[in-house]
Each structure stands twice: as C-alpha cells, then as structure tokens.
C-alpha cells in the first residue's frame, strides 16, 4: 500500500472513531442503536402510536377517526437519523474528490 493510501486509511479510521457512533458493537451481539426516552410513559406512547399508525396504514380507511400523535413518531424518526455518519460520508467523499 502506498504511503498516501496509508495516511488516508489512518484519517478514515480517526474520522470513523469520531463520527460512527449511532451503532454500538459488542463482541457477542449484533450492532445496536440507543433511542433516548424521558420515561416509560413516553416509550409506551411511542410504541402505541407506531402500532396505531401501522394499523391505520393497513386499514386504508380515511373514514375512521383515530388519534395518533404523528409529532411523537416524527420526533423519534429524527432521533434515528444518523447525522454523524452522514457528516463522515461527506468528509470521506471530499477526501476521494481531492485525490481524483
């Protein structure tokens, strides 16, 4: 491997350690992601609203009046979005463009 490639690989490793933090890896288990909740009540509301949303989608009946906290569901979706990983991909892309 050329010296330039080794330096780039080292830089990618440093960036990965800094940005790749959504998934946590352990020796025995599959990777996992943490979702922060205020308490068990919020967790229950999120699960309940996700299930209601799925039921509503399956029924595809606009005539039924179901109360679903879409804001809560969207907030959780935002928490799942891997922002740090996207920043890393931007940095890696910049490195590759500079090399070309």
The model's pLDDT over 60-97, given as tens digits with 9 standing for 90+, comes to 766 666 677 888 888 888 888 888 888 888 888 888 77
Q: What is the pLDDT of residue 32?
A: 86
Concatenating the DSSP letter of every residue in the chain gives --HHHHHHHHHHHHHHHHH--SEE--SSSPPEE----SSHHHHHHHHHHHHHHHHHHHH--TTS-----HHHHHHHHHHHS-HHHHHHHHHHHHHHHHH-
Give 6-37 pLDDT, tens digit per residue.
Answer: 888 888 888 888 888 888 877 777 888 888 88
Q: What is the pLDDT of residue 90?
A: 85
Q: Domain residues of the chain, as ranges?
A: 3-99
pTM of the predicted model, to two decimals?
0.56
């Amino acid at each position: 491997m050329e010296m330039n490639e080794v330096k780039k690989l080292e830089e990618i490793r440093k960036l990965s350690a800094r940005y790749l933090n959504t998934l946590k890896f352990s020796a025995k288990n599959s990777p996992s992601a943490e979702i922060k909740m205020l308490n068990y009540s919020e967790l229950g509301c999120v699960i309940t609203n996700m299930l209601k949303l799925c039921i509503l989608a399956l029924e595809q009946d606009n005539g039924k009046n179901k109360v679903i906290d879409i804001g809560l569901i969207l907030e959780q979706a935002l928490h799942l979005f891997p922002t740090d990983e996207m920043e890393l991909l931007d940095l890696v892309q910049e490195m590759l463009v500079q090399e070309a």
